[in-house]
Each structure stands twice: as structure tokens, then as C-alpha cells.
Amino acid sequence: MLTMVSVRNFLSGSHSKLKFAFSPKILDLDLLNVIMVLHQIQSVILKYGNETQELLKWASRSGNLGLRVLWLILHFAVTIWYFLLGVVQSFESFLIACDILTKYEALDISKVRYLAMVIDSEEAQELSKVFELLQWVADIGVKSVCLYDPEGVLKKNKEPITQRFSSANLSEEAAVNGRLVTRRNLTLEFVSFEDGKEAVAKAANYLFVKHYANGTKEKSDFTEPQMAEALGAIGSGGAEPDLLLIYGPTRCHLGFPAWRLRYTEIVHMGPLKSMSYGSLVKAIFKYTMVHQNYGS
């Protein structure tokens, strides 16, 4: 309405300037009419434009909602699938533990020289479970184990764990599966997140002091053995594990030191709370049957 008034004022103001052949009054009236019609068209378009915009918004929101609902249904289906899978796996490990599936007895443990276990930090707080797991590992015959958890929970509890597994008597024997198995000591190594990335930074500092001390670069570039030596010197060295078992909700190695993870087979065992002896045996057995290519 404001524009109408201003247009009319303008027209009346310029009325005096419109000195043409035809009657100025008729011209004035015609122009005003045209402008009013245009204005009405404009308001109609805006009104419907707004409405269509709102309609589109509603449509997209409901479309999004619809997609979201479909997405939830899809994930529900995936959850059911995993549930069923879990049931089948528990049944299988039950059978293994009861020695019904006998093929896992032919386990050649010497192929697993160094076993590593990545445990989710929250679940690692339950030390009883950790003890149980390590006991199974020792029973299977593994000699050295590397325990990793990102926050270092197991590192903090180093004392009780090592006490439990280093003081086992060598003379104590247990009859397992009809074979006499000597309970051996477990060599344990405790690793946490700092031994991965931070250690590489420290190793770089070590190499700097060693090779750049004269202010200029020595002739050759760093080599991998030099880096390995540097990592060893700062206390984050250690053998590369053959097999890595992940006890956690996700299939992720949670930052295990990258330098040692080159050709390690990685197996996800599920959460610690649902661990079982059978799945452990199965995983180790599968590893020992694997044929490695190593790129060539």
C-alpha cells in the first residue's frame, strides 16, 4: 500500500510534467490502474509462493522422515542379523568347549609366536574377565602375550596381572583334553596409546639428536631399521605380533602401535563380556591354517 501511495504521489507530482497531446487525466488513471493490477498479481504470487514453499518444506521434511524411518528399519534388520549370528557362534563355541568338534584339537600353537590382545578400555576395567581370558590363552599354550588398551587401564593394573601369571608353578600340571598340559608362565607386555603415535615423535627426537648433532645432515636418509632401533631405545620397541585379537564392540585396532602392525592378522572377537573359550580356539586355529602371501 505504501508503494501505491508513493507511486500516486510521484504521478501527481509529475503530473505537471506530463504535457502531452492527450489528456493527462486519462493517462494518469490508466497508469494507476495498471500498477494496481500488477500489484495484485504480485501479492497473489507471493501468497501462493509462500504456500508452495511451505508445502515443499513439509514434503522434504516428511520425505526425510520417511527416509529416516526406512533407515531405522534397515538397521533393525542388521541388528537382528547380528543377533542370529551371535546365537550361532555361541552354540559353536559351546560345542568346541565340550570337545564335540574335534578338528580344533590339532592346534599347532608354535605358529603363534606372539599374540596380541586389544581390549576396549571400559571393558578392561573388569579385571576378572581379563584374568579368565589370559588363563584360557595360557591353557592353549601361548607363551607371550601383548596386552593393549587405549587408555592404559591394563598398564595401571600391571601388578596384579603379572603376579598372577608369572608366579604360576612350572611343576603344576593340568590334564586338559586328555593331554598333559604344563601351565606355563606367560610373558606379558603392556602397551597403551602413548606407545604408538607419541613414541614415534619421541623416536624422531632421538634420531635427531643422534644424526643431526653436527648441525648438518649425515649422508644418508633414515632407514626402517634405524627407526626400529630408535623406538627400542625409547622403550616402545617390541616384537611384531602374529595375531591380534580385538575384544571390543567394534572391529578396530584402537591405535595399537602402527610400527608393529605390519603383517599382523586381525580378528574381531566381539565384546569382552561375551567372550568364550571356543571362539578363542577357533580364531587361533584359523590363524594357524592361513597361508601368507606377503605381497610377493
Partner 1 sequence: MEPQKHSLVGRLCGSSISHMRRFLFDVLSAGPIPNHVAFILDGNRRYARKWKLGEGMGHRAGFLSLMSLIKYCYELQIKYISIYAFSIDNFKRKPHEVKCLMDLMLEKIEGMLKERTIVEEYGVRVYFIGDLKLLDDNVRHAAEQAMKATAKNSRSILLICVAYTSTDEIVHAAQESCEQLCDELQALKPSEAPFGKISDELQALKPSGAPFGKISEELHEMVHAAQESSEQLGNELQALKPSGAPFGKINEIAKEKLSGTPFGKVNEIAKKKLSGAPFGKISEIMNGKEEEKPEEKEQGEANGEMQEDKSVEKSKEPSEEEKHEELGKEKQGDFPNGEKLENASEEKQELSNGKLEEKSEEEQKGFVKEMKEVQPNIKLSDIERNMYMGVAPDVDILVRSSGETRLSNFLLWQTWNGLLYSPKALWPEVGLEHLVWAILNFQRAHPLFEKRKKQF
* Residue closer to partner 1, measured from CB, 152 or 278: 152
Is residue 208 a contact residue for partner 1 (CB under 8 A)?
yes
Question: Closest distance between partner 1 and the C-beta of residue 104, in Å?
Answer: 19
Question: Closest distance between partner 1 and the C-beta of residue 63, in Å?
Answer: 9
Question: Closest distance between partner 1 and the C-beta of residue 219, in Å?
Answer: 13
What single string gives the DSSP state of each residue in 182-234? EPPPPEEEEE-GGGTHHHHHHHHHHHHHHHSTTSS--SS---HHHHHHHHHHT
Q: What is the CA radius of gyration of the chain?
A: 37
Report the distance separating Cα 241 and Cα 247, nearest Å: 16
Question: Closest distance between partner 1 and the C-beta of residue 261, in Å?
Answer: 5
127-166 residues near partner 1, rule: CB under 8 A: 150-151
Is residue 259 a contact residue for partner 1 (CB under 8 A)?
yes
The C-alpha cell at 117 is 590382545
- 3-state SS assignment for residue 243: strand
Selected binder of partner 1 within 91, 205, 273, 274 (CB under 8 A): 205
Report the distance separating Cα 151 and Cα 153, nearest Å: 6
Report the distance separating Cα 53 and Cα 56, nearest Å: 5
Question: Closest distance between partner 1 and the C-beta of residue 276, in Å?
Answer: 19
Q: What are phi and psi of 244, to 5 degrees?
A: -120, 125
Question: Closest distance between partner 1 and the C-beta of residue 203, in Å?
Answer: 7
In the stretch 95-124, what mask flags binding to partner 1 with x, by CB under 8 A? ------------------------------
90 vs 93, 102, 144, 274, 282, CA distance in Å? 5, 17, 27, 9, 12
Is residue 62 a contact residue for partner 1 (CB under 8 A)?
no
Q: Which residues bind partner 1 (CB under 8 A)?
A: 64, 67-68, 70-71, 74-75, 78-79, 150-151, 193, 196-198, 200-201, 203-205, 207-209, 211-217, 221-224, 226-227, 249-256, 258-259, 261-268, 293-296
